Each structure stands twice: as C-alpha cells, then as structure tokens.
Amino acid sequence: MSINQMETKNSLIKKLSTWATQRGLLEDPFVLSLIKDLNDDRNIGFWANQDPLEFLPNVESDNGISFMKIAKTLGLIRNMLVFLPVALTWKAVSDATAGFAKFVAVNNATPVNFLEFWQNGYGYLNKFWTIGSIAEIDFIIILLVIAITLISNIFQNNGQKVNELTLDKLDKEKNALILEIKKYLFSVKPTTVESVNSDVLLAIDKFNQGAQEFNSISKNIETLSDYLMKAVPQVQAIQESMNKVSLNNNADLEKVLGSFTKEVNDKVVKLDSSLAHLQNSIGSINKLIDIALTASVSNMSQDIDNSNKSVKRSAKQLESELENLSSQINITAANLKAKNED
C-alpha cells in the first residue's frame, strides 16, 4: 500500500469513527466491522463488493420533535374543548328546567315563559347557568379552540420543517461519507480474474468505439483531400489566365497570389503537424494494447479513453484545416477570376 493510500485510509477511518460516534452508531455491527477491517486491511474484497448505502444504518433525528409533541398536546386539549360548550349548555338547560319547575309550582299565576326565566333566574337559578352567561362562556371557549388550532398547526409545521431540514443535512453527510468509502475501496480493491476480464472487455469496447469514430473522420478527410485534388486544375487554370492579363493588373494579381501562397503554406504546415500528432496518438493506442497483454489492466480503460480523445481531437483538427484550405482555394479562385474578367 502506497503512502497516499495509507493516508487516505487513516483519514477515512477517522471520519467514519467520528460520524458513528456523533450519531450514536458506533456499536452498529456493520460500522464496527468496517472500521476494524479497514484498520487491519482485512476483507477488503468483501467490502468492495458491498454497497455502503445499504449496510450503513440510517440516521434518525429528534430535532423538531419537541414542537410536534407540543402540537399533539394542544390538539388533544382542543379536541376536548370542542365538546365543552355542548356540555355546559346542556347542564345549563338541565338546571334551568329544574329551577323553572320550582318557579312555576310556587308562582302558578305568574305569566313567565321558559327563556325569560332562563335569562333572569328569579332566584331559582344560579346566575352562572343563565342563558346569557352560558352563551358568553361558550363564545370564549370557541375562540379558545380556534386559537389553539392555529397555534397547534404552527408548532406542527415548524417541527416538521426543522426535522426535514435536519434529516436532509444528515443524508448529505452520510452520502459524502459513502462516496469516500467507495472511492477508497475501489482504489484498493484486489484484482481477480473476473475483474481483469471485465476491465479487458471494457477497454476493448472503448477502443472499438474510438476506432469507429476515427474511421468516420478519416472518410471525411479523404473526401476533402479528393476535393482539394480536384481544385488543383482550377488553380492551374487561374495561373494560365494570369499570364493573359495586362501588365497593369499583374501587380495586384501577384499580390493576391502571394497572399494565397503564404496561407496555403501555413495550412500545409498545420496539416503536417496535425498528421504527426495523429500518428503519435495511434501509436500510443497500439502501445497500450501491447501493455495490456502483459500487464495489469486496471487503468487501461482510462488510458484508452484519453488516447481516443486525443485521436479524435487530432483528426477533427486535421479535418478543420482541410476545410479551411478548401475554402481558401475557392475564395482565391473567385477573386482571381473576378480580377481576370475586369
């Protein structure tokens, strides 16, 4: 194990232990076994084939629970208060009925209806149970129920929000730790026959994809090259027509031709450089294939990817240079032809 891997392992063990201690998970069997095996460099192949997202325990949070408990208590009180006005009203009706019966028995000739008696009492009914008093108390209780409902909802929503934010933070913390575990286990994963075969197949597949793209670009380059070859007679025709132009126009034509020649030479130099870079990239891919037959292929896929990208960049640069050269020939030919006609 390299020094860099050793430092990465120690850092991972420290982070994992700190996380488990802070979240009360240090006694979890999976966490405890992983820390011990990482520290002793044991069973690395086993852990590398496991998904930390599945075996690491979920972290619970009690943040916001106190708000939700208060909301639950207030909700219980509200539910009881809802029935209190009904109970008080029927109790008042009961007492008023009993008092009215006594009042009628004593004052048989007095013309008083029940509602009037319920409101005044006439000494037979406690003032608390009069209809006006009970109505006022019921009104206050209903207002109290409304207020408790609003406060309960506020506590419930705040508790849920705090709890959700905390759980989201804990999930992000856990996912960051899982990513570090995966990266470390992948870097120290033991090489097996199955993994080597898988890496070889992946590398071959990537190389085939790069070869197909390179062949496609090569066809475009061949097409442009054929076009440039066909453009040569046009340039020669323009050169012949220049000889027929008067001496007054020769200076202008020579200036245009000189500029065109310089640009073509610059393009040719760039094309030579692009072709050389393309050949070097293809050579590096061949070298990688030779190395893959005798050495480990753990990093071969990445190397072939880099080489494929280099080949595609070089080929596209070459294709672009050929297109620019073709366009320059057409423009120069048109300019020379126009001057020749003038």
Task: With CA atoms as reference, report the closest residue to 34 among 185, 193, 207, 229.
Answer: 185
Cβ atoms of residues 214 and 312 within 8 Å: yes
Q: What is the pLDDT of residue 177?
A: 93
Contacts 24+ apart (CB under 8 A), 129-135: 129/91, 129/92, 129/95, 129/96, 130/92, 130/96, 131/92, 131/96, 134/88, 134/89, 134/92
Q: What is the pLDDT of residue 146?
A: 95
Q: What is the pLDDT of residue 244?
A: 56
Helix (H) or strand (E) holding 98: helix 65-106
Please name the amino acid found at residue 148.
I
Cβ atoms of residues 44 and 195 within 8 Å: no
Mean pLDDT along residues 8-12? 89
Q: What is the pLDDT of residue 90?
A: 95
Report domain extents, the chain: 65-169, 193-341
**Band of residue 296 on the pLDDT scale cut at 50, 70, 90:** very low
pLDDT in tens, 20-55: 998 888 888 889 999 998 888 888 888 888 888 888
Q: What is the pLDDT of residue 61?
A: 84
Quick check: 214 pLDDT over 50? Answer: yes
pLDDT in tens, 319-341: 676 667 666 666 766 666 666 66
Q: What is the pLDDT of residue 126?
A: 92
Higher pLDDT, residue 154 or 317: 154
Mean pLDDT along residues 59-74? 90
Mean pLDDT along residues 120-148? 93
Q: What is the pLDDT of residue 297?
A: 47
Higher pLDDT, residue 152 or 296: 152
